[in-house]
Amino acid sequence: MASEKTENGVQGFPYLKPPDKTFYEKLSTALYDKSENTILGRTPKNWGQLLLFYTIFFSCLAALFAICMQGLFASLDDRTPTWVLHRSLIGTNPGMGFRPISNNTDEGSLIWYNSKNATTIGKWVNLLNEFLHEYKIDNRHNRAVCDFEHPPPADKACEVNMEDFGDCSPDNDFGYNTSFPCVYLKLNRIYGWVPEYYNDTKNLPPDMPDDLVANIKAEYAKGPEYANQIWISCNGEHSVDKEHINSTRFEYYPTRGFPGYYYPYTNVNGYLSPLIAVQLRGFTPNIIISIECRAWAKNINYRGGYRDREGSVHFEIMRDI
């Protein structure tokens, strides 16, 4: 369109006002403009080029992602962690846990029951049955009966026989229908960790309880291999607690240690962590008693207290009458 010069010498261009359109007409033109043959401002050729570009771009991106994931999965093992022992966040000091533990967080680690009240008995019995569910599953294809003379075969785990827990078995309601309740102890699993046992009866820690020392000597008398266990001792945590229960008031099933043939843990299918059931006998009723149980091995660090506890576990118990 030709320009025109105004009186002051400024070059001017005539302006033609676009025709008035309704909103519907403007929207229709934006979606498809017949005069320029465009869809949303682009010709079909432009849209085809854009679609081809992004198809190639995202295909290459997806292929690169797939290659990276394949490389990652190729470096992983279904059974062996990439980082183990000292190189892992878990470390080499297994934690210790106990059961039953209440689902009510307000109760903390307190086990409070009445041996004549079916409701309180049922609460703790049900919690223990839930915890022991996998121990009751028959899995003979992946588990073998083990002892110190017969370690587990390759790619098989050792069985945990619930019939070996005596008064602490499910058939006896784990002792909660009596004044002798049971608490189950276990160690956390650490892949590849091998315990260093206190199996030399002439070189035991000076702070080890006398009754545990006697137990180790009795096991050693059966054969040196029987002393290859992670030993357990329980007692009242503080002096006031020991007035109401002492170390001679505990019974341990099936033995007083976690047998060495369960270690190391290598993520074998069907593996069960060994358990120790501790039965509390003759403790004072109607009072909360703090109990501490400790694991004994040369490579298990021990630290008590309520914070940063290591190599031990704390719980409280109270029996109403």
Q: For the domain that residue 222 is a member of, what is the CATH number?
A: 2.60.40.1660
Last-in-domain residue among 46, 76, 106: 76
- Does one domain contain both 72 and 93? no
- Does one domain contain both 147 and 98? yes
Q: What is the DSSP letter of 178?
A: T
3-class state of residue 112 by DSSP:
strand
Looking at the domain assignment, is residue 83 inside a domain?
no
3-class state of residue 198 by DSSP:
coil
Question: What's the domain count of the chain?
Answer: 2
- Does one domain contain both 60 and 123? no
Distances (CA, A) of 115 to 98, 120, 121, 319: 20, 8, 6, 7
Q: Residue 1 — pLDDT band, cuts 50, 70, 90?
A: low
- Does one domain contain both 261 and 130? yes
- Does one domain contain both 304 and 268? yes
Spatial contact of 278 and 234, defined as CB atoms under 8 Å apart: yes
- Does one domain contain both 8 and 120? no
Looking at the domain assignment, is residue 195 inside a domain?
yes
- Does one domain contain both 38 and 176? no
Looking at the domain assignment, is residue 82 inside a domain?
no
% of the chain exceeding 90 in pLDDT: 65
What is the C-alpha separation between 167 and 162, in angstroms, rounded? 11
Last-in-domain residue among 31, 56, 76: 76
**Residue 282 has what pLDDT?**
84
Residue 102 reports pLDDT greater than 70: yes
- Does one domain contain both 19 and 139? no
Q: What is the DSSP letter of 282?
A: S
% of the chain exceeding 70 in pLDDT: 93
Q: Residue 209 — pLDDT band, cuts 50, 70, 90?
A: very high
Residue 3 reports pLDDT greater than 80: no
Looking at the domain assignment, is residue 306 inside a domain?
yes
**Residue 4 has what pLDDT?**
58
- Does one domain contain both 22 and 168? no
What is the C-alpha separation between 239 and 241, in angstroms, rounded? 5
Looking at the domain assignment, is residue 95 inside a domain?
yes
Looking at the domain assignment, is residue 70 inside a domain?
yes
Last-in-domain residue among 16, 48, 76: 76
Pick from 21-35, 87-101, 106-120: least confident:
21-35
Token pair of 229 as six digits: 């266990």
> Amino acid letter at 182?
C
Other Cβ atoms closer than 10 A to 176? 24
Pick from 60-69, 100-109, 302-311: least confident:
302-311
- Does one domain contain both 55 and 130? no
Spatial contact of 250 and 215, defined as CB atoms under 8 Å apart: no
What is the β-pairing status of strands 32-33 and 157-158?
unpaired
- Does one domain contain both 63 and 188? no
Average pLDDT taken over every residue of the chain: 89
Looking at the domain assignment, is residue 58 inside a domain?
yes
10 is in which domain, residue-wise?
1-76
pTM of the model: 0.80
- Does one domain contain both 131 and 264? yes
Helix (H) or strand (E) holding 19: none
